[in-house]
Every structure is written in structure tokens, then in C-alpha cells.
Amino acid sequence: MTGRTKNGLVNALFIAPYLALFLVWVALPAFFGVAISFTKWNIFTGEIGFVGLNNYLRVLSDDLFLRSLLNTFQYAALSVAAGNAVSFLLACGLAGGIAGRRFFQTIFFAPIILSIGVTGVIWGWLYNTDFGILNYWLQQTGLPRLNWLTNPKFAMISIVIMVIWAGAGFNMMIYLAGLLNIPKSYYEAAQLDGAGAMSRMIHITLPLMKHTFAFTLIISTIGAFQVFDQPYILTGGGPDYATYTYVYHIYSNGFRYFRMGYASALSCLLAAVIALFSFIQYKMLTRRRVDY
């Protein structure tokens, strides 16, 4: 046995546990889900009947499918844009040499370690119409109380605010790593040439952070299209389906009405939408190479 073959076997042994878990918990369930999407499956009797593309064509007559898709697009647009903007601004502030940077990094990152259940309970109390602290502050300033979670106009925005608070620290750390990786000599040279702060941001920081932006925007979009926990805990998909998201629709069909075939078809369509948006984002954000 040659040394190269021996090294290959050793490497294979290292990746074998992960590969086995990936096959059992990801690949096989995904394959099974695609197969089920072409059937009508009764999970109680075990009867499975092939229905072809009927589950996919069913979305054309499903009013809640379109409603959930539009709600998900709205949530994704708000949470991805605003969330990444907040994360980038926090990272810029920390990268500027602020005193106690480690302390602020910990504070901003801390909400991520909380479970979604704990986060939901916290914000449910904050948003409470009668004794929530947000309405208390509004009253102290002379403004009327708001029905944060029971008014269709505010429900989705309320969820987005909670998600930004809970998740901004993750992308902040990624942006901070990217900012600290930019050589300071670039900024010093630009400053000697008379470039102001805004000019340095536009011509140095943003171009060199392009691949970091691509990564964070793609993973944020993927996460946004799969949102379920927050509406489930805070609003139950209401009021008036205002926060009824796509994954909530999958959950309802699969585990409330036990339409497993249709729920699987919806999941396959979601995977296709996520792949398409990820591809478009990657091509748009990385189409120009920047070298200094």
C-alpha cells in the first residue's frame, strides 16, 4: 500500500462519521420527501397512492399558498435588508477601535444563545398590549398604545424587529472579521490622498467586503425563507393570516391536516425557490472582481 493510498484511507475514516450522519439525516429524508411529493400518503393506514404532478398543480388553486408566499417574501425583504444593515453598522462601530470592544461583542452576540422559545416569551411580554414595556414607553411620550401582535399592519414588522434583535450579532461577527482583515495601509494611503470617511467606505470597504456581503446575504435569505418558529410562537400565523409564512403552510398541511404528499411538494418548491434566489444573489454580488 502506497503512502498516498494510506493517507486517503485515513482521511476517509475521518469523514466517515459525518458522511454517515449526513446520509441518514439529510440525504435520505430529502430523497424520501421528493418521492412522497408524487403520492397521496395516509400516515395512519400506511396507504400510498401515486398521483403524479397533482400535488404540484394543486398550488394553483390554493389561496393560502399564494398568501404564505407573499408573506414570506415580505418578511425576507424586511429582515434581510434591515438585519444586515444593522449588523454591518454594529461591525463598523466595533472595528473603529471603540473601547471595550470585547464587551460589546459579547453583549450584541448574547441573544443568539437564547432558544427561540425564550426569545418569543421575552418579546411576547414586551409587545403585550396592556402591560408591555413598549406600550408603556409610548404612553409616557403621549402616543397611543399599539396592538403589536394583533394588528395585521404591525404583526409582521413586530416579528422582524424581534428577529433582528436576536440574530444581528451573528452577521455582525462575520462583518467584523471581514473589516478587520482589510489592511490598514489602504485607509492610510487613501487618507493621505485626501479621501474622506465616506469615500474610503465606498471605494475601499464596500468593494473589499463584497464576498462577505455575498455570504451573509445568501445565508440570511435562506434562513428568512424558512421562517416558522417566530410566527408560530408569537402570532400563530395571524392575525388574519398576516404572518402566515410558507413553512407555516407546510407545517399546517403536513401535521395539522396530514396531507403529507402535498406538504412534501410544497417543501420541494421551497427548495427550488431558495436555490434560485441563492444563485441570483451569488451571481449579482460576485460578478466583478476587486483587487488592490
Mean pLDDT of 11-24: 90
pLDDT digits (tens, 9 = 90+) for 180-238: 998 888 888 888 888 888 898 988 899 999 889 999 999 999 999 999 999 999 999 98
- At position 65, the amino acid (one-letter code) is F
Dihedral angle, C-alpha 136, 142, 148, 153, nearest 10 °: -170
Structure confidence at residue 42 (pLDDT): 80
- pLDDT interval class at 291 (50, 70, 90): low
Q: How far apart are CA 118 and CA 125, in angstroms?
A: 11
CB 57, CB 194: distance < 8 Å: no
Please determine, for residue 58, whether its predicted confidence score (pLDDT) is greater than 90: yes
User: Is pTM beyond 0.75 here?
Assistant: yes
Predicted confidence band of residue 288 (pLDDT cuts 50, 70, 90) = low
Residue 1, pLDDT score: 57
- Does residue 21 carry a pLDDT above 80? yes
Q: Does 26 have pLDDT greater than 60? A: yes
261-277: pLDDT as tens digits: 999 999 999 999 999 99
> What pLDDT does 20 receive?
92
Lowest mean pLDDT among 14-23, 28-37, 160-169, 283-292: 283-292
> Do residues 105 and 173 lie in contact, with contact meaning Cβ atoms separated by under 8 Å?
yes
Q: What is the pLDDT of residue 23?
A: 92
* H helical segments located in 54-115: 54-57, 63-95, 101-109
Domains with residue ranges and CATH for the chain: 58-285 (1.10.3720.10)
Please list, in sequence order, all residues whose beta carbon lies within 8 angstroms of the beta carbon of residue 240, skipping any fewer than 6 positions away: 152
> What is the structure's pLDDT at 262?
95
From the list 165, 147, 136, the residue with the least C-alpha distance to 242 is 147
Q: CA 278, CA 285: separation in Å to the nearest integer? A: 11
What residues pair up with 49 in beta bridges, in sequence order?
40
Phi, psi of 37 (to 5 degrees): -65, -15
- pLDDT above 70 covers a percentage of the chain that reads 97
pLDDT at residue number 44: 80
Contact indicator for 165, 110 with CB cutoff of 8 Å: no
Range of weakest confidence among 54-58, 99-103, 123-127, 160-164: 99-103
